[in-house]
Chain A
């Protein structure tokens, strides 16, 4: 039987967590706070057998395990965020003991406090823009291909049909991209930060429409309604796109840039790698 490690969900302002007895952590663990000056790390004791490096490597490949840890992580972060300001940590951030945890809080105290101040009163909203399938090749193409009259040159007819399909697709795509850019600019102007995520693949989401934009915005809590209304207006302005808003989320997409001392609204298509190397 191996020992215990400490799973860290978030860092909060010291005063905000309150009692966490009723919040369930990952792997049915209890959640508690480890305090250092004005900071509180929100943690759970987890079995080393499940969370040491080799277990994590295989666990992260297991969709069931990954989902249960991800949902528990988010549940804890949501609850802490509901009570005050918190800076979420990346999934599966593990400390060996309280000393290591406290040493981290001591070493990064100033930047964590600064990042907490920056996201105070803010939420993250996700916006996904999909190229609408309404303008994709559809029923009217069938009329063009008119199979009733035999074509003297079936090869040419085929090429024409293909070209028409491609042109339709491309013009729909272009219109979708243009409106996605308009949307992004309008919503960026209403936000306190922007970070692009990778567009989601249809294979993973089961949504056949092409996801052309997947962006997180940092929005003041008081501006949520106005932001969503703006997204809905933008949706109504164009048939080329479908716009989806998710959230509010804890500021996951902004914890990283701020804690690394990065620039506001800095864009990382694949930020994970860049951030570690970013100078403070």
Chain B
């Protein structure tokens, strides 16, 4: 899907530590999208109020799960290399 995410076997994605060694910064392609979304949607500094554009009322976790599930169900070539 994205140019920096070449197709890889799912097993490779789960070998982050074994393949990543001690290099502190991992390449994009080693990171599973599900792990990433765990952090980007349920973590990070969350702002509410007028200063930041508010999508606070939107359950990010929920809608992203819906998007993921839809993509699985449609059974199109997965961008996620599961």
Contacts and interface: CB of A to CB of B under 8 A. Distances in A.
A255 B44 contact: yes
A197 B38 contact: yes
Chain A CB within 10 Å, residue with most, of B25, B42, B45: B45
- Chain B residues touching A, range: 35 or more
Given A53-B55, A74-B40, A244-B14, A256 B46 contact: yes
B34 A5 contact: no
Interface size class of A (residues with CB under 8 A): 35 or more
A53 B52 contact: no
Interface of A: 5, 8, 11, 51-53, 56-57, 60-64, 66-68, 70-71, 73-75, 78-79, 81-82, 87-96, 100-101, 103-104, 107, 112, 115, 123-124, 126, 195, 197-198, 200, 203-207, 214, 216, 221, 224-225, 228, 244-249, 252-256, 259-260, 268, 270-272, 275-276
Interface centre among B25, B43, B70 (most CB of A within 10 A): B43
Contacts of B47: 89-90, 93, 104
Interface in B27-68: 28, 31-48, 51-56, 58-61, 63-68
Nearest to A123: B24
